[in-house]
Structure 1
Amino acid sequence: MNTSDVKRVLEGALLCATKPLSVGELRQLFSDEVPVSPDTVRSLLEALREEWKGRPVELVSLATGWRFQSAPDIARFVVRLHPEKAPRYSRAVMETLAIIAYRQPVTRGDIEEIRGVTVSSQIIKTLEDRGWIDQVGVKDVPGRPALFATTRQFLDDVGLRSLSELPPLEAGESPAEAASMPIFADQAAAAEGGAQPAGDGAVEPPAPGHDEPAESAESAESAESAESAESAESAEPSGDLPPPDRESPDPSDSSEPASEPARSSIEARRA
């Protein structure tokens, strides 16, 4: 099998795939009799990316692998193929996500210190259910509060390969303010992966002059629950934890399939 044939196979597989494919998964397409090295696969993928530039569909590299998706300039038209109304996440949810993305790993207490308000359990659950955050451990302080960090699913949904590609914060800018950046604001309309039923934490934007629904839900949390969370965090050192180096070895090399929900191989990308 020559290089041209290998490239055709890669192109066809990616066009038919329902999720991003890693280099390891793409190598499995070829029999043992015709081994294809990881470097060859990467080189051919880069060649394909160049060939598809300027077309309605583009090839992109994400945290969990490679996929074809609609070009940013036509995404707003393609989404009309799925006219169902998707739920919109509240600002409280997106601020919490932004804080976790920039300060991970963090506890609820860390998030509350930055936002200045109580973070309800429902907000955390909403982000976990969406697949954007996960518990990665506990903080070694009295109460051992859970530590949260973003997932590869989050990186895929915002179109990034690693956390280092997050837009830098301005001097003196709070991570919570990053919720207004396009990378987070675009995700507030959670269209990717299909519409989800609206519930607590996933709500329509509030009307001007009205309090944010999610914040109202937070204030409705029982006093016992709030006091329990505060007492568990009270012994924590003040200040945000420094963001860890969470970049793992190139996930593209993994031969294990990514454990994320199946997604359309050519989908609208939120510009």
Structure 2
Amino acid sequence: MDLPPELRWREWMLRVEAVIFAAAEPVGRETLARVVGKDCSIDLLIDDLQEALRDRPYEIVFAAGGWQHRTRPAYASAIRASQASTGGGALALSDFEAMVLVAIAYFQPITRGDLSKIFGREVSRDTIASLRGANFLASGPRSPTPGAPYTYVTTKHFLTAFGMETLRDLPDIEALEDAGLLSRTATAAETDLAPAGDDEP
């Protein structure tokens, strides 16, 4: 590209923004390097893009191993009030579906039976199907317990939808216990499970 350095940099910024804007999933470093070349600093380009978008209602954020465009949280109520159809984001979950998803995120891989023990009521196949349909869950390894039931794990889309890079970004489990949202003591006693570690699904 035969452009003066400052115009070349601006062109690279526009190319990177266009790729991130058009992508349905977070865009990784390798993909962006193919667009601007391996010698270009992706981090500096992203920094300049984030600065250029500072006064816009959207931003570029890093989630699930790549960058993506996100509407700024301050505009969430305006978007909801508009009732406009949006492309993506977190599906509207019932309270129970959300709590099941939280339990899976912390205790994965986990069976439906173990989830039922956590909640003291059956976690239906329909609840699991709904979370799978939203692409928040995938099948994990078969459980070593009798019958070898399926286990469930969260997906990369789960990380993306909730703005996390890895499972390490989940809120501290002690904070959830303090808020009365999750009881690790009861759960561990009933299901003999430990919380999910630092590994991504």
Matched, 1:103 2:107: yes
1:243 matched to which residue of 2? Answer: 196
The alpha-carbon distance between structure 1 residues 81 and 238, as it changes in their structure 2 partners (threshold 3 A), is: closer
The alpha-carbon distance between structure 1 residues 56 and 89, as it changes in their structure 2 partners (threshold 3 A), is: closer
Long gaps (5+) in structure 1? 179-236, 249-271
Q: Distance in 2 between matches of 1:118 and 1:94?
A: 15
Say whether the 8 Å CA contact 1:105–1:244 is kept in structure 2. no
- Equivalent pairs counted in the alignment come to 184
Bigger share in helix: 2
2:19 corresponds to which of 13, 18, 26: 13
Say whether the 8 Å CA contact 1:64–1:152 is kept in structure 2. no
The alpha-carbon distance between structure 1 residues 89 and 239, as it changes in their structure 2 partners (threshold 3 A), is: same
The alpha-carbon distance between structure 1 residues 99 and 108, as it changes in their structure 2 partners (threshold 3 A), is: same
Q: Which amino acid aligns with 2:29?
A: V
Work out the percentage of aligned pairs sharing the same amino acid: 28
1:163 matched to which residue of 2? Answer: 167
Q: Distance in 2 between matches of 1:175 and 1:135?
A: 30
The alpha-carbon distance between structure 1 residues 24 and 155, as it changes in their structure 2 partners (threshold 3 A), is: same
Q: Distance in 1 between matches of 2:121 and 2:136?
A: 21
| Offset at residue 112 of structure 1 (A) | 1.5
Q: Distance in 2 between matches of 1:118 and 1:167?
A: 26
Q: Distance in 1 between matches of 2:140 and 2:105?
A: 13
Q: Which amino acid aligns with 1:246?
A: D
1:130 corresponds to which of 128, 131, 134: 134
CA distances 1:192-240 after superposition (whole Å, capped 9, x unpaired): xxxxxxxxxxxxxxxxxxxxxxxxxxxxxxxxxxxxxxxxxxxxx9422
| Offset at residue 53 of structure 1 (A) | 2.5
| Offset at residue 18 of structure 1 (A) | 4.2
The alpha-carbon distance between structure 1 residues 83 and 134, as it changes in their structure 2 partners (threshold 3 A), is: closer
Written as runs of structure 1 = structure 2, the 5 A alignment for 1:47-196 is 47-79=48-80, 80=82, 82=84, 88-170=92-174, 173=177, 177=181
| Offset at residue 244 of structure 1 (A) | 3.4
CA distances 1:47-100 after superposition (whole Å, capped 9, x unpaired): 32233234312111111521122211112213415169xx85322211111100
| TM-score relative to the length of structure 2 | 0.77
Q: Distance in 1 between matches of 2:180 and 2:111?
A: 15
3-state SS, counterpart of residue 59 of structure 1: strand
Q: Distance in 2 between matches of 1:163 and 1:93?
A: 19
The structure whose RCO (Cα within 8 Å, separation 6+) is larger is 1
| Offset at residue 133 of structure 1 (A) | 0.7
The alpha-carbon distance between structure 1 residues 241 and 147, as it changes in their structure 2 partners (threshold 3 A), is: farther
| TM-score relative to the length of structure 1 | 0.59
Q: Distance in 2 between matches of 1:155 and 1:132?
A: 8
